[in-house]
Amino acid sequence: MKVLVIGTDLTSNGGIASVVRTFNSVAKSNNVEYSLLKTTNYKHSNFLVNQLLFIKALFKFFSMVRNVDLVHLQGSSHGSFYRKSVFLLLSKAINKPVIWNFHASRFEEFFLNKTGIQKNLIGWLLGKANSIVVLSNILRINLQEHYKIDNVTSLRNPVEPRNLSHSNLLDRHTDLSSLKVLFLGFFLKNKGVLDLLEAAENIADKNIEFLFAGTGELESAIEEATKKPQLTIKNLGWLDSDEKYSAISSSDILVLPSYREGMPIVILEAMSLGVPVISTNIAAIPELIQHDVNGYLLEPGDIDALSEGIRKMKCPVVRKKYSSLSFDKVKNYYPDAVFKDLKEIYEEVIR
């Protein structure tokens, strides 16, 4: 089976690129041959550069699409949606089946708040695809109900397995005296960065070290916080793939207090490394983390609950429980297991 995958620049550290790289790594062993076509370059924020890249991708598309069995669009919302819709219509014009895979962190804002002409246009485009793939069952149900379409299915994001055992996890979570709290992602308000800084001030415990790994518009706020004598805060900056895994595995907990997400790869990565997670009760996150079962969930913006969750994680017994249950659960998200389900979708649309 030959599949043309259209999406983001795979050298990006973003979630969509991570998913496509992972699928690409297991496709061949599952008798699927991927061809990859990028429509944007994350290294260039210049509008003109990316428009030229998009036009170049259109020309390449016509030479690449002839010899494939189907087209797999990887995208999100807003501009990405409309760029991918061009490839959708071109593919359907030459009778190629299309799967449209959405990873949008602003899914509800973009798809579920539309009315009138915009809603009709989006619904018409979604209906043209052979299969719409979203990250969770709740997003699938919401999309089906809002647009009255039935070509929607859910598929979880994959994560690479790590060479760990339960004994490794139990050995890790023993320290009562200190706690390493990691935030990993873009330094943006909607990622809950300011909430985590406020929670750190509420707790004011120098034995709890807050590590921020990433980049973004709130970097100056983090730098200011590093100067406060009552806090232990470090800015690790942007990390490459190996550095990222090292930062996660050497931390006691991962905190992602986001206001908008899809199915965060960083949570899956933490689970695969046996690192307990504190996050918010939004999007697909509750399908990964059950509150007080294998992690801790709160409503976005609830600083008191965030502070309470971090304090609770000082207890090694709690961390061991969350770590062990998450480590078991994440096995369902390993690449071969997820790709098996994806291949079933492929086979369904080309029948």
Residues 226, 96 share a domain: no
| 176 and 83 assigned to the same domain | no
pLDDT at 170: 63
Question: Is 285 a residue whose pLDDT tops 80?
Answer: yes
Does residue 159 surpass a pLDDT of 80?
A: yes
Q: Which domain holds residue 132?
A: 2-158+334-350
pLDDT greater than 80 at residue 171: no
The reply to whether 284 and 175 lie within a common domain is yes
Cβ neighbours for 6, distance < 8 A, ≥ 6 positions apart? 37, 39, 57, 61, 71, 72, 73, 74, 84, 87
Which of 1-15, 26-40, 149-163, 258-272 shows the lowest mean pLDDT across its residues?
Answer: 1-15
Strand partners, 154: 134
Q: What percentage of the chain carries pLDDT values higher than 70?
A: 95
Q: Do 88 and 146 lie in a common domain?
A: yes
Task: Kindly tell me if the per-residue pLDDT of 291 is higher than 60.
Answer: yes
Q: Do 152 and 173 have their domain in common?
A: no
User: Residue 152: which CATH number?
Assistant: 3.40.50.2000
Work out the percent of the chain whose per-residue pLDDT is above 90. Answer: 78
The predicted pLDDT at position 45 comes to 62
Residues 148 and 196 in one domain: no
Q: Kindly report which listed range (40-49, 59-68, 115-124, 261-270) carries the lowest average pLDDT score.
A: 40-49
The total number of structural domains that make up the chain: 2
Residue 121 has pLDDT above 60, yes or no: yes
Confidence of residue 18 (pLDDT cuts 50, 70, 90): confident
Lowest-pLDDT choice from 8-17, 90-99, 110-119, 155-164: 8-17
The C-alpha angle 246, 251, 257, rounded to 5 degrees, equals: 110
pLDDT band per the 50, 70, 90 thresholds, residue 173: low
Q: Do 99 and 184 share a domain, yes or no? A: no
* pLDDT of 47: 73
pLDDT of residue 113: 83
Instruction: Answer for the pair 184, 255: CB distance below 8 angstroms, yes or no.
Output: no
Look-up of token digits 């550095």: 243
Residues 8, 123 within the same domain: yes
DSSP 158: P
For residues 54 and 224, which has the higher predicted lDDT (pLDDT)? 224
Q: For the residues 34-50, what does the mean pLDDT come to?
A: 77
Domain shared by 144 and 246, yes or no: no
CA distance 140 to 110: 14
> Does 144 lie in the same domain as 11?
yes
Query: Per-residue pLDDT averaged across 178-199, rounded?
Result: 97
Same domain, 318 and 340: no
Q: What is the pLDDT of residues 319-347, one digit of tens each?
A: 999 999 999 999 999 999 999 999 999 99
Query: pTM for the full model?
Result: 0.89
- Are 48 and 141 in the same domain? yes
One DSSP character per residue, 21-37 reads HHHHHHHGGGT-EEEEE
**3-class state of residue 68 by DSSP:** coil
Q: Could you tell me the pLDDT band of residue 43, with boundaries at 50, 70 and 90? A: low
- Find the range with the poorest average confidence among 100-109, 147-156, 248-257: 100-109
- pLDDT, mean of residues 237-242: 91
